[in-house]
Amino acid sequence: MFGILKKVFAFAGGKRALLKKAMGVSLLGALFASLQFLALMLAMDMVVGGAKLSVWPVACIMLVSILGHIACAYYSTNAETDTGYHMAAEKRVHIGDRLRYIPMGYFNDNSLGNITAVVTTTLGDVENTAARCLVMVIGGFLNTLALCLMLLFADWRLGLIAIAGIICYLAVTELSQNATSKTGPARQYIQEALVEKVLEYVQGMGVVKSYGLEKDSGQAVYNTVDDSCQKALALVRSITPWSGIRQITVRIFSVAIVVAALAFYAGGTLPLSRCLLMLIASFLIYAELESAGNMSDQLQMLGAAMDKANSIDNTPTMDIDGQEIASSHATVEFQDVHFAYGDRTILDGISFTIPKKTTTAVVGPSGGGKTTLCNLIARFWDVDGGKILVGGHDVREYKLDSLMKNISMVFQNVYLFNDTIENNIKFGRPSATHEQVMDAAKQACCHDFITALPDGYDTVLGEGGGTLSGGEKQRISIARAIIKDAPIIILDEATASVDPENEAELQTAIHALTHDKTIIMIAHRLKTVKDADQILVLDGGHIAQRGTHAELLEQTGLYADFIGLRQEAVGWKLA
């Protein structure tokens, strides 16, 4: 238990000081609460013991106790709430920042559902439980300890019995934490699996409906929901017996206090007023400790949640030793580059140079490594061997933000955020003015359709830009790249899925984007390939051919065969 409490403190981050204040105020509140026993003791001495005391001290002590306890509880509750929400918010921001510098392979091994579960369900458990759990557990212990100290003041023998009860209760609680250490992480894991399965079902709804698999796919979700229910019940079943043992423990010591008080009274070593005080105290002294113990049952799940959220920090980043480099030219060079996904070799010792302000088209069969080649330039992954130079510097020498200032990428599958059109375009340069956004939109041939929308540039797009056509989304992504104004442009089959009506405008937008830039394009159509300064034909992880359109036509090989046959080769998408 104490290990998990330490985790909560470590997890609190910038709110650690506030959490400590909440703990200190909770201790102060416990001391205020214990004053009620002092007032009760004085009242017993007056009523039963015949002590000549005024009623006013008793009333004042009770008033101070009540008001002090209320004030401390108010501050402590606000502080723990503030801590809980802010520590989770800081962690979400931290995870978002870190994901920017993690190799793309992490996203292959950890699905969208898994990551979504961490930043929603997992951190939701933390923000709602962590600080409150810590304050209640420690506060309950301190409250009980303060009352025990008051009992020590009243009668040291009974005070020691009460303290022994605290020690035994904590020992049982620690044993229960060890005994239930597996059920908490298991429930955390199945919660993440549930989020993942639901997201998969919703995102794949089109495929599910088109193949009539609603029943089969729905059954998989139902099975995961049922599994989640069973894991939650297993957690409760593992906790319940220990909850009973804790209750038995405090009852035993409550009875021990009663028996000891009566025995001491019968033996003449305890006055009647103190005996009555102890009888009352035996029913109240462990109430806060029991509440703390019940709250501690959530610690295993909380610990598992924090471990999962922290697990992203264990993933190595690719930006540890990078520098801020201002590249003087936009030349790209591959030097004996090797790269593989696991045991599957994608690029096998390729070398080439792309001079600044030239256009290079990359063509080849599907699976030949075209997209991987472009992603390595942007350092979505690190090479396994060799090096890639941008502006004469190894991409691994750059800080990732510094490298990406040199590169704009336009993908075949465009993703637009659930925000206004203007903010989606400004994603390329957040500091851009409205006039700059409009200018970029005009160059990308999307100003006219934007202004035709009811809210113009303030139109809020649906998630992924689903309210726009494919060509419109593509032109907005080009406007985003234009406003960024990076010297190197990577086009990953940017016109692959565009209808003929949009193609002319899209080509105009691409021309505006690529003017006076270094261009690397994964080729899709013959007319965009033949004008390139050089063409790289990738096949099986090797550069099979390189040259201009005219030069390659004169050679015997894949490129000439394709042009000669005027049809798509296996896996090719040129038209």
Residue 203: pLDDT band by 50, 70, 90 thresholds? low
Predicted local distance difference test score (pLDDT) of residue 385: 92
Place of tokens 């990428």: 409
CA 214 remoteness from chain centre: 31
Q: SS3 for 455-486, per residue?
A: CHHHCECCHHHCCCCHHHHHHHHHHHHHHHCC
| Residue (of 82, 81, 91) closest to 13 by Cα position | 91
Q: According to the CATH classification, is domain 322-406+489-497+516-575 in 3.40.50.620?
A: no
Positive or negative, the CA dihedral 145, 150, 151, 155 is positive
Instruction: Taking residues 27-48, report their average pLDDT.
Output: 81
Whether 201 shows a pLDDT value over 50: the answer reads yes
**Once rounded to an integer, what is the mean pLDDT over residues 512-520?**
82
- Report whether pLDDT(433) > 80: yes
Amino acid (one-letter) located at 574:
L
- Contact yes or no for 487/408 (Cβ under 8 A): no
pTM for the structure as a whole: 0.65
522 has pLDDT over 60: yes
Give the side-chain half-sphere CA count within 13 A for 80.
25
pLDDT of 390 over the 80 cut: yes
Coil, strand, or helix at residue 540?
coil
Q: What is the pLDDT of residue 263?
A: 93
Beta-carbon contacts of 131 under 8 Å, excluding residues fewer than 6 positions away, are: 8, 12, 15, 19, 22, 79, 80, 81, 83, 84, 87
Instruction: Determine the Cα–Cα distance for residues 473 and 414; give it in Å rounded to an integer.
Output: 6
Which of 145-149, 338-342, 393-397 is the least confident region? 145-149
- Domain-wise residue ranges, the chain: 2-314, 322-406+489-497+516-575, 414-485
Q: Is the pLDDT of residue 573 over 60?
A: no
The one-letter code for the residue type at 209 is K
What burial letters (b/e) apply to 17-48, b meaning 16+ CB within 10 Å? ebbeebbebbbbbbbbbbbbbbbbbbbbbbee
At 2, is the pLDDT very low, low, confident or very high (cuts 50, 70, 90)?
Answer: low
> Is 414-485 in the same CATH topology as 322-406+489-497+516-575?
yes
* Rounded Cα gap, residues 469 and 467, in angstroms: 7
Rounded CA-CA distance 333/389 in Å is 5
C-beta separation of 139 from 288 below 8 A: yes
Check residue 103 and give its pLDDT: 72
Average pLDDT score over the chain: 79
CB atoms within 10 A of CB 207: 10
Residue 295 C-beta-side C-alpha neighbours within 13 Å = 22
Are 150 and 37 in contact by the 8 Å Cβ rule? The answer is yes
Please give the C-alpha separations between residue 249 and each of 79, 162, 244, 308, in angstroms, as whole numbers.
32, 11, 9, 34
Contact 117, 196 (CB under 8 A): yes
Q: Across residues 441-459, what is the average pLDDT?
A: 88
- More confident site: 248 or 10: 248
Name the amino acid, one letter, at 523: A
- Predicted local confidence at residue 575, as pLDDT: 39
In percent, how much of the chain has pLDDT > 70? 82
Give the pLDDT score at 264. 92
- Give Cα separations from 99 to 83, 88, 102, 197 (angstroms): 24, 16, 5, 22
Q: What is the pLDDT of residue 392?
A: 86
Q: What is the pLDDT of residue 335?
A: 93
State phi, psi for 160 to the nearest 5 degrees.
Answer: -65, -40
Alpha carbon of residue 460 to chain centroid: 25
pLDDT average, residue stretch 284-295: 79
The CATH superfamily label for domain 414-485 reads P-loop containing nucleotide triphosphate hydrolases (3.40.50.300)
Give 491's pLDDT tier (boundaries 50, 70, 90).
confident
Of 95, 97, 100, 101, the residue nearest 122 (C-alpha): 95
DSSP conformational letter for 355 = -
Identify the bridge partners of residue 360 per DSSP, sorted by sequence position: 520, 534
Question: Over 369-436, what HEC string results?
Answer: CHHHHHHHHCCCCCCCEEEEEECCEEHHHECHHHHHCCEEEEECCCCCCCCEHHHHHHCCCCCCCHHH
| Widest distance between CA atoms in the chain | 119
> H or E stretch including 236?
helix 214-266
| 358 Cβ contact list (under 8 Å, min separation 6) | 518, 519, 533, 534
2-314 CATH fold = ABC transporter transmembrane region fold (1.20.1560)
The residue whose two tokens read 């709110």 is 15
